[in-house]
Amino acid sequence: MRKLIVPLVAVVLIAFSTCSCKNKEAEEKALAIQSAVLPEGREIYFDSTKVAPFFDRHPQLKDFQADVNALYRKHQYRYIWFDAKGIIEVGDFLYNKIISIASEGVSSSVPYRTQLDAVFQDTNSLQKPNTETELLLSSLYFFYAKKVFQGLDASKSEELGWYLPRKKQSYVNYLDSLLVNPSLMNKDEKEVLGQYYRLKEVLQQYRAIEKKGGWNAIDLDPKFKFYALGDSSATIGQIRKRLVFSGDLATDSGSNVYDEALKEAVLSYKTRNGYAPDAIVTPRHIADLNVPIGRRIQTLMVNMERCRWIPGDITKAKEYIVINIPSYRLTYFKNNAPALISKVVVGKAMNQTVVFSGMMQYIVFSPYWNVPKSIIKKELAPAMAKNKNYLEQHNMEWNGGAIRQKPGPKNSLGLVKFLFPNSNSIYLHDTPSKSLFNEEKRAFSHGCIRVAKPVELANLILQDDSNWTPEKIAAAMNSGTEKWYTLKHKIPVYIGYFTAWVDRAGVVHFYDDVYGRDERLASLIFEK
């Protein structure tokens, strides 16, 4: 095996950066690369007519032929991966990353792996530039970049209901950056998109558990409908063993008694998996604990794929709002730190909340609810047919051929709504149905997002605006007269879909796949 001279660090760092350089910058980088590979006047070139026959001999790499052609046209068919002494250090690094691609949550096998291994197992450190190897490395570079950095094509992710903006990347320009400054590889991966790397770490942990045989299924004791503190059963002993695997319990005492230590472990498990924070264990919770290790690994990999679609600048805004549908949670970030965390209600299965982003521009106090035509047709029209006083009883009125609900505490939008104009007519709003926030699974709306802490959210958004004190905000919410306010600074709002999430402490959270999207995504990214 040839000695690898580059540390095992993330190429992904630069991949999430913007490489759409201006023409002048691109020219400067091209000159830098030329001098970085070989001194002036000693550049190595190859015959451009050899490119097409290479792909005829390597049909599994055909998808990357256009990228390879663009790469070498830009560099006038100079060798990129070789200098006079052989393959350069970036080539060694690329090889190491390619053979470890499974650690990135990618299930694809490496095309022409045997041929690739033969190159890097050659003990001759003075390999002469070889066009076949040169084109193989460039093709596999694009293979790796698109599998690990890009993921599914944007058209495929949109088919899966993902309308958040995808990051844009030129992998030709990215390679330029890497060749000019290999030291960029030594920077901390977690400076970029911490979630991807946290998922990656948990993936490694779960694969280690799988390698050791995983965890056993817990047997239900028919004598118990649920388990609580003080109960004794063989099932409790099995629960204890299972919670050691997931890290919720430090050690297994071997006891079959539901004691205080197990109680704390149960609370930990339920809290991070979206359940009510009580110590009761029901058959439903045991079914969740019995999800096989392989299934959890698949979930981790699916969510790593979603991370590939996120633009690298998403966290650079001074303030932004993130809603994760499966966790039923809103987080409002200011200065890259959570300023508010709130429960939310999202769309039910038949009225799914859309995954997209927008810019919050308005806060509407004491809002009217303009009832969508679909709700009028399906719900209001039958109700009005049975009860001629239905509109009056629900504080509604006709408005130019449409129906709206007047402002007030019983208004379906509550006392305030937050608008980020979009084609899906989705927004954040208060609700009079506060009890729904006590439910574990909160998919009840027609698509919009109900916020458990609307007053707190309004106060935080407006806290730097001297015209809006908490008292004025409360008065506007309860005035009974609709009032629109245009924000001085628009706030990015991101609605995402993650069924696995690792917090900054390294604790993994799994959430129900409320819209059943994981399986479809898995079918696209996993090799059959």
Cα angle 261, 265, 235 (rounded to 5 degrees) comes to: 85
Per-residue pLDDT of 27-57, as tens digits, reads 444 444 444 444 444 578 999 999 999 999 9
Helices 260-272 and 234-245, packing angle to 10 deg: 50
Least confident of 136-150, 187-201, 426-440: 187-201
pLDDT band at 26 (very low <50, low <70, confident <90, very high): very low
Per-residue pLDDT of 394-418, as tens digits, reads 999 999 889 999 999 899 999 999 9
pLDDT band at 12 (very low <50, low <70, confident <90, very high): very low
- Is residue 116 scored above 90 in pLDDT? yes
Among residues 288, 281, 284, which one has the least CA distance to residue 227? 281
Rounded-to-integer distance, Cα 235 and Cα 431, Å: 41
- Is residue 318 scored above 50 in pLDDT? yes
Residue 276 near residue 496, CB atoms below 8 Å:
no
Query: Measured in whole angstroms, how far is the alpha carbon of residue 213 from the centre of its chain?
Result: 29
- Is residue 11 scored above 80 in pLDDT? no
Among residues 356, 313, 353, 315, which one has the least CA distance to residue 336? 315
Check residue 36 and give its pLDDT: 42
Check residue 40 and give its pLDDT: 44
HSE (side-chain half, CA atoms, 13 Å) at 370: 10
Residue 449, strand partner residues: 428
Q: Are strands 428-429 and 416-419 parallel, antiparallel or unpaired?
A: antiparallel
Per-residue pLDDT of 135-185, as tens digits, reads 999 999 999 999 988 899 888 999 888 988 887 778 888 788 777 765 554
Residue 494, strand partner residues: 322, 357
HSE (side-chain half, CA atoms, 13 Å) at 226: 10
Per-residue pLDDT of 223-240, as tens digits, reads 899 999 999 999 999 999
pLDDT band at 4 (very low <50, low <70, confident <90, very high): very low
Q: Under DSSP, is residue 126 helix (H, G, I), strand (E, B) or coil?
A: coil
Rounded-to-integer distance, Cα 487 and Cα 140, Å: 48
% pLDDT > 90, the chain = 71
State the pTM of this model. Answer: 0.85
Check residue 131 and give its pLDDT: 95
Residue, of 205 and 373, whose pLDDT is higher? 205
Check residue 24 and give its pLDDT: 44
Check residue 1 and give its pLDDT: 41
- Is residue 5 scored above 70 in pLDDT? no
Least confident of 10-19, 233-242, 337-346, 366-375: 10-19
Residue 303 near residue 199, CB atoms below 8 Å:
yes
The per-residue pLDDT of the chain, averaged, comes to: 87
Four-residue CA torsion sign, 303, 304, 309, 314: positive
Could you tell me the two tokens for 354? 């859309």
Query: Measured in whole angstroms, how far is the alpha carbon of residue 142 from the centre of its chain?
Result: 22
Q: Are strands 500-502 and 369-370 parallel, antiparallel or unpaired?
A: unpaired
Q: Under DSSP, is residue 120 helix (H, G, I), strand (E, B) or coil?
A: helix
Among residues 483, 481, 476, which one has the least CA distance to residue 406? 481
Check residue 125 and give its pLDDT: 54
Q: Under DSSP, is residue 428 helix (H, G, I), strand (E, B) or coil?
A: strand
Amino acid identity, position 112: Y
User: Mean per-residue pLDDT for 487-514?
Assistant: 95
Q: Which domains does the chain have, with CATH numbers?
A: 12-191 (no CATH), 218-289 (1.10.101.10), 311-525 (2.40.440.10)
Residue 344 near residue 443, CB atoms below 8 Å:
no
Quote the strand ranges of 243-336, DSSP E.
319-324, 329-334
Rounded-to-integer distance, Cα 67 and Cα 70, Å: 5
